[in-house]
Structure 1
Amino acid sequence: MTTPTLRIDIISDIVCPWCVIGLLQLLQALEARGTQAALQWHPFELNPAMPPEGQNLREHIAEKYGSSAADSQAARQRLTAIGAELGFVFAFSDDSRMVNTFLAHQLLDWAGEQGSQLPLKLALFRAYFSQGRDVSDPQVLLEVAAEAGLDPEAARQALVSGDHIQPVRMKEDYWRQQGIQSVPAMVFQGKYLVSGAQGVDGYGNILDQLAQMES
């Protein structure tokens, strides 16, 4: 008898640090329990009106959340420490920028058709947070696609065609209509919404509860 695969819909943005942390915590919890899961990614833009040139990250956080320089530095240090525990490098700098992610979400939508969303998502996270690359730049996106094992020419065609513009907009609208206002947000088995990064133990408890409920 085969064990049924757990479906997890993940609504997130590429420039969301807690989305990185939540994902890595979830993956560790899944691995620790030997749970088979099908991860499905869905788009969410933290800053849909962000212009093409982007904005200095520290300035953006101060404007959006009213954070002081000290608050921002403390948050960066906390994220960097949590990331290190999970084997992920947050390389914040004074030059770090917030960028528009709509094109990156189109690439992820296309990657879903190739069954390669997870490797691309991880590669995009590394490109933005660890390497300071501009994930709004089409050329950077093609380079990251290649690094994730995808065909860069096919990726270029997917972006140039515009075929994924409407699907991404529709998915964004759908999740907003479901009440999703912040990310990460994860929906387990299409029924159970969990918001925010829960920690490895927290996700482990959720998986244990689901296993009992679904058995």
Structure 2
Amino acid sequence: MTDAIKIDVWSDIACPWCYIGKRNLENGLAAASIDEDAPVVEVTYHSFELSPDTPVDFEGDELDYLSTHKGISREQAQSMIDRVTGVAAQSGLDYRYDLLKHTNTVKAHELLHFAKAHGRQLELAERLMSAYFVEGRHLGRTDVLVELAAEAGLDADAAREALESRQYLSEVRADQKQAAAYGINGVPFFVIDGKYGVSGAQPPEAFAQIARQVWTEHRAVEATADEDAERVTAEV
């Protein structure tokens, strides 16, 4: 069987373009999945903190955050929010910045590693991003994260224990170290098969094209391996 394409995604649950990129990736892979020879893909999410110095309970709304941390006016911040909200809507996402609670995301990243260890990372990534951008949930609080973990099919008690013990913090730091090694300084960032890098929330069509191209490369490698095996058998 041909090896699956491995797509490693560096993102932050508090990054609006990351949720858009996630949805566009999913839609692009869905389009490629109806091909006669459909690509087989494995997606893994990795930790990237856009604002590691953000307090758990940030005082103010997103306009306050952008204006104070990015050094721009509230008018410019509102323009940025309006733009990303419009782009999100084109991907089927209803961003609610009037509800959004800006917070530190390191615990959410730890929870994603816990979910990965229990085979539910994709489900949790979707649940966290929806909770943050659409529902206005406070993702810096352990109780909220545990509730969302349960909604994603994970054991609530085990999730709480993992968060309180900081069991997966080292995995978060390892992801960040790998991002630095790759030279990633913005997210979303997609690494395909460990050799191709794609930056930003590309449209679904781009992801479908990438998947098909890399799958063709996988098939070519498989065909070459089969030919080599047949040659060895014939020589024997």
Name the TM-score, length of structure 2 as normaliser: 0.84
Aligned equivalents of 2:177, 2:2: Cα separation in 1? 33
Query: Residue 70 in 1 paired to residue 75 in 2?
Result: yes
Q: Secondary structure at the match of 1:28?
A: helix
* Displacement of 1:46: 0.5
CA distances 1:95-146 after superposition (whole Å, capped 9, x unpaired): 6332101111111011110111111000000111001111010001011111
Gaps of 5+ in 1: none
CA distances 1:2-24 after superposition (whole Å, capped 9, x unpaired): 45321100100010000000010
* Displacement of 1:66: 3.0
Query: Residue 149 in 1 paired to residue 153 in 2?
Result: yes
Query: Residue 39 in 1 paired to residue 50 in 2?
Result: no
Gaps of 5+ in 2: 34-38, 220-236
Q: Which letter maps to 1:168? A: V
The number of residue pairs the alignment matches comes to 213
Bigger mean CA deviation after superposition, 68-77 or 4-13: 68-77
Aligned equivalents of 1:213, 1:89: Cα separation in 2? 37
Residues 175, 55 of structure 1: alpha-carbon distance in 2 compared, 3 angstrom cutoff? farther
* Percentage of identical aligned residues: 37
Check the 8 A contact 1:55/1:97 in 2, yes or no: no
Aligned equivalents of 2:132, 2:44: Cα separation in 1? 21
Query: Residue 207 in 1 paired to residue 211 in 2?
Result: yes
Corresponding position of 2:15: 16
* Displacement of 1:55: 4.3
Check the 8 A contact 1:10/1:185 in 2, yes or no: yes
* Displacement of 1:72: 2.2
Corresponding position of 2:143: 139
Corresponding position of 2:3: 4
Q: Which letter maps to 2:91? A: L
Residue pairs, 1:52-63, within 5 angstroms: 52-56=56-60, 57-63=62-68
* Displacement of 1:82: 2.4
Bigger mean CA deviation after superposition, 119-128 or 167-176: 167-176
Residues 67, 204 of structure 1: alpha-carbon distance in 2 compared, 3 angstrom cutoff? farther
Corresponding residue to 1:118 among 117, 122, 129? 122
Q: Which letter maps to 1:116? A: R
* Displacement of 1:206: 1.8
Corresponding position of 1:30: 29
Corresponding residue to 1:130 among 116, 128, 134? 134
Q: Which letter maps to 2:97? A: F
CA distances 1:34-93 after superposition (whole Å, capped 9, x unpaired): 133111111000011112222432122123333333332222222222222322220111
Bigger mean CA deviation after superposition, 2-11 or 135-144: 2-11
Q: Which letter maps to 1:12? A: S
Name the TM-score, length of structure 1 as normaliser: 0.92
Bigger mean CA deviation after superposition, 194-203 or 136-145: 194-203
Aligned equivalents of 1:70, 1:199: Cα separation in 2? 28
Q: Which letter maps to 2:3? A: P
* Displacement of 1:173: 1.8
